[in-house]
Structures are given as C-alpha cells and as structure tokens.
C-alpha cells in the first residue's frame, strides 16, 4: 500500500469464491482519495477499483461428498497469489466467500476461517445464501444497472447448488430469495447418474418418479426437472410460489414488494447461457444438468415477460463482487486504538435515537444487557459492536453524558479488557471516542462513523490506513445445515 500522490492511496483486495462447482480467485486494486477541500473535514472515498488478476476457474476439490479438501484449497490459493505476484501481507481487504451447497459441508466453517487467517491479514470469511445473492448482483452488474436505469432488477445467480436472487431498485436492495436450483443437483458420468441432491430427490418422490444413482440418464425426465426449475424461477419472481415449488425453496419466501421489471442471469448456469469464458483456459468441466437448465431458462415463456439484460460477468460474478464490492471506508474523523486492529466477526447491536435523547441514553445499560444475552449468553467474552443510528445534532454536554452511560453500561461485560467498539451514522466518532478515553484512559476504544449497518450484521474492521481511515466489511455470517436453513 502506498501514496501515489499527496491525496491518493492504494490498497490490494482479494476475492476467493469456493462454490459448489468451482473455485475462483481475483486480485483487485483500490484507489482512495480525499474528496474534501483542504479546509474541510477529510472525506476519504474509493475513487477507482481495478481487477489486476483473475485466476482460472477450478473445480472445487472435495475429499468426499460431505467434506472439502482444505489442503488443496490452500495450495490453490497460494499458487494463484504467486501467479498474481502478491503475498498475504499485501492483502488489506476482501473476502473469502463459501457459496451454494459447499456451505453445507461438514468442515466448511473450519476451512473458511483457516483460509481467511492465512490468505491475508484482513481477508474476512463470509457465508450465507442471501449475502451471496447480494454480492453476485454487484459483481454481475445488476446493482449498477438498477442505479443507472431506475428499473427493478433481479439478478439470478445460478451456480452448482443454488440460485441466489437479489432484487434492486435504483441501487437499493429490495429483497432476496434462494432456491435449490443449480447445475450440479444432478450429476452423471458416461450417461450414468452419479448423484442426485436431496431436494431434487424429494421432488422426484413427490412426483412418483423413480430415478436413482447408477441408472442411465432419462433425457425426458431430466428436461422435465429443468423445465420445472425454470418455472419455479418465474413464479418466484412473481412472488407466487406454489406448494409444490416449496421443495426447491431454501429459507424464506421472496420478500420484496416491488414488481420486477428486468432480469439478469449470472453464475455457472449464466455462463451456459452467454458463454463469456474461454473454455480452453478453464479446466473445470462438468457432467451435470447445467446446459439443460440453461436451455430451459431460455425456452421458458414466463421468463421472457421480463426484459433480459446481459450481465457484465457470469461465472465470476460472485468472486468479483467479493473482491471489489464488499469493502467500505470509514469516516476520517475516527478514534481507534490501532493496537486492537484488525477485528473480525463482531456482531452488531443497534441502538436507535428515535426517542428523546435522554431517554435513549438512559436505556443504554439495559440495551447492553440485551446485547450480552443475545451474543454472549454463556458469558464467554464474545465482543460485539454497538451501532448508534438516527443520531440528532448533539452538543458537548450531551456527548459527555452519552459517553458516561456507555462506560457504565459496558461494565456488565464479562471481559472488560476487550475494546469498546462503537459505530455511528454521523460524524461524532472522534469526539465520542476521545471523551470516553478522557473518562477512562484504561479503556481501549474503537469508534468509527459514516458506516451504516443493521442489527444482526457482522462487522470486520481493518488496520488504519495512511489516510487515517479504516476499511470495513459488513456482512451476515451464516453456515447452513439441513436443520437450519433460514438466513438472518
């Protein structure tokens, strides 16, 4: 990381996507610049994002149908870093994201945290179908298209195991949905069925159709299944899923209110539709239903009621979103104990100033009790961040009272040596942090602003950059299993 001019700074970002079918790595470069005049409070923004290296697309290595080959993943990432001429110490931000059915593997959580610890100082771990859909929509171009066109745009990212849908209007997230629809839900070898995913088996049993591993492929039955999947996507976009469609629903129903106007397909099945990649450069080739599913999508009449917008990226949408779109930059007027950074996976507890100021401040101790009960019920010392939103204009005596109530409330924490982590939606971070330090010089404080989060999000805060800001990644961290399919 370096200054390229008195007002510019560069940092390197990595995105690593470990999906049901494929694994990819992307290395990007961000340029930061102070966009405020010399006499104004600094306002550091990311002014440019440039992809400097894209890996080939690799087949995700597995030890068994239920276990990821962690050693091969780590070797793959190490080799790609070498090709890109970067080292883990160069990586200042980015994300390792585990997607689709891979998130259900027995060692998924161990693998992703182990990899994020070795692949970069501030390369954070993320998982969960809703987040995957959001990141893919940014990587595919659907997010930007919604901003530029103002249209309600649904990005449908279909990989090997899931279809992750994120709907945007004018750059605002309207809602998400995830379906058990993907190219590798039925796999075969030499025209013999090798595997069928549980959701598809359940649907086939519902139909009374007998298709088992070891049987020869029934082209008609495969096409019937992919035609049904295409229909489910159409009904999902219309928010009219049937009882039969529920076999392929993962988590919650479509939760947007707006009527979709345009659709975009990304992911591996999106690649089957548009064929952007040079197949000779990518060793990942599969015997599955991806191409048949792509044909069913193109043939489905309901789906053609919407405007089809070509994506900027297909199979690389998620990895590019992870490397390019997950990072935000804090305000420059912050107060942080740099010896405590980086911090990872801090759950967020929101306190809204939607009532009288004194009433909210007086309730902070009670709110901290709720946060401890929620995030550290066994009193094991799980730290968390307090997010103060809807902040009014405050005078110093009010900030002083606010700081005092925060200190009193946090005395309940079982581990008092942890830093106090505060996130504000207005530019009070420096004065609040300094006031807390003045009241208790032994208390380590991380107080940042100009960041918007929500209750239940997870927060990662990187080291202070030369421009006196910190990179921040906001995410929801969820590992799926068969018993717990909901998100957030």
pLDDT in tens, 241-256: 999 999 999 989 999 9
How far is 363 from 366, CA to CA, in rounded Å? Answer: 5
Burial of 367 (0-12, 13-18, 19+ CB in 10 A): middle
* pLDDT for position 486: 27
DSSP codes of every residue in 370-435: HHHHHH-TT-S----EEEEES-----HHHHHHHHHHHHHHGGG-S-TTSPEEEEESSS-HHHHHHH
Which tens digits make up the pLDDT trace of 376-410?
878 888 899 999 999 999 999 999 999 999 999 98
Strands 385-389 and 343-352: parallel
Average pLDDT over residues 215-242: 94
CA-wise closest residue to 443 among 330, 340, 341: 340
* pLDDT for position 128: 67
Q: Cα 7–11–15 angle (5° rounding)?
A: 150
C-beta neighbour count of 180 within 10 angstroms? 23
275: left (phi over 0), alpha (psi -120 to 50) or beta: left
* pLDDT for position 126: 62
* pLDDT for position 476: 54
Which tens digits make up the pLDDT trace of 460-481?
888 888 878 888 887 754 433 3
Strands 91-98 and 124-127: parallel
Q: Residue 351: enclosing H or E segment and its boundaries?
A: strand 343-352
pLDDT-derived band of residue 446, with 50, 70 and 90 as boundaries? very high
Higher model confidence: residue 109 or residue 343? Answer: 343
CA-based R_g, the chain, Å: 24
- Given a contact cutoff of 8 angstroms between Cβ atoms, the answer to whether 395 and 354 are in contact is no
Whole-model pTM: value is 0.74
CA-wise closest residue to 437 among 476, 403, 413: 403
């Amino acid at each position: 990381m370096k200054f390229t001019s008195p007002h510019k700074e560069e940092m390197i970002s990595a995105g690593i996507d470990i999906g049901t079918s494929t694994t990819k790595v992307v290395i990007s470069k961000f340029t930061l610049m102070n966009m405020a005049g010399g006499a104004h409070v600094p306002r550091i923004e990311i002014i440019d994002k440039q992809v400097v290296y894209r890996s080939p697309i690799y087949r995700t290595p597995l030890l068994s149908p239920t276990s990821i080959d962690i050693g091969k993943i780590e070797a793959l990432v190490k080799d790609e870093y070498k090709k890109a001429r970067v080292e883990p110490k160069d990586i200042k931000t980015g994300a390792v994201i585990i997607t689709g059915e891979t998130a259900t593997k027995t060692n998924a959580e161990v693998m992703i945290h182990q990899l994020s610890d070795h692949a970069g100082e501030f390369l954070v771990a993320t998982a969960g179908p809703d987040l995957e859909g959001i990141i893919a929509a940014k990587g595919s171009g659907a997010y930007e298209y919604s901003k530029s066109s103002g249209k309600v745009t649904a990005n449908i990212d279909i990989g090997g195991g899931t279809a992750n849908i994120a709907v945007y209007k004018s750059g605002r997230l309207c809602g998400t949905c995830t379906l058990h629809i993907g190219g590798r839900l039925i796999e075969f070898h030499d025209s013999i069925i090798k595997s069928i995913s549980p959701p598809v088996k359940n649907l086939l049993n519902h139909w009374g159709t007998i298709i088992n591993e070891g049987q020869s492929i029934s082209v008609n039955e495969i096409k019937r299944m992919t035609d049904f999947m295409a229909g489910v996507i159409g009904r999902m976009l219309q928010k009219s899923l049937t009882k039969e469609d529920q076999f392929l629903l993962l988590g919650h129903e479509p939760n947007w209110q707006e009527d979709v106007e345009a659709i975009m397909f990304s992911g591996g099945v999106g690649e089957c539709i548009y064929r952007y990649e040079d197949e000779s450069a990518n060793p990942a080739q599969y015997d599955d239903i991806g191409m048949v599913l792509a044909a069913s999508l193109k043939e489905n009449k309901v789906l053609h009621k919407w405007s089809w917008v070509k994506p900027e990226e297909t199979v690389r949408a998620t990895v590019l979103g992870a490397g390019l779109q997950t990072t935000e930059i804090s305000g420059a007027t912050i107060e942080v104990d740099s010896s405590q950074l980086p911090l990872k996976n801090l759950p967020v507890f929101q306190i809204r100033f939607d009532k009288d100021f004194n009433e909210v401040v007086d309730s902070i101790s009670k709110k901290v009790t709720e946060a401890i009960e929620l995030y550290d019920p066994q009193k094991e010392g799980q730290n968390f961040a307090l997010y103060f939103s809807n902040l009014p204009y405050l005078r110093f005596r009010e900030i002083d009272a606010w700081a005092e109530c925060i200190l009193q409330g946090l005395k309940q924490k079982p581990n008092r040596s942890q830093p106090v982590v505060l996130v504000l939606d207005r530019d009070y971070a420096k004065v609040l942090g300094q006031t807390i330090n003045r009241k208790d010089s032994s208390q380590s404080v991380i107080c940042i602003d100009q960041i918007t989060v929500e209750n239940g999000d997870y927060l990662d805060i990187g080291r202070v950059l030369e421009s006196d800001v910190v990179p921040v990644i906001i995410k929801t961290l969820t590992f799926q299993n068969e018993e717990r399919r909901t998100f957030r």
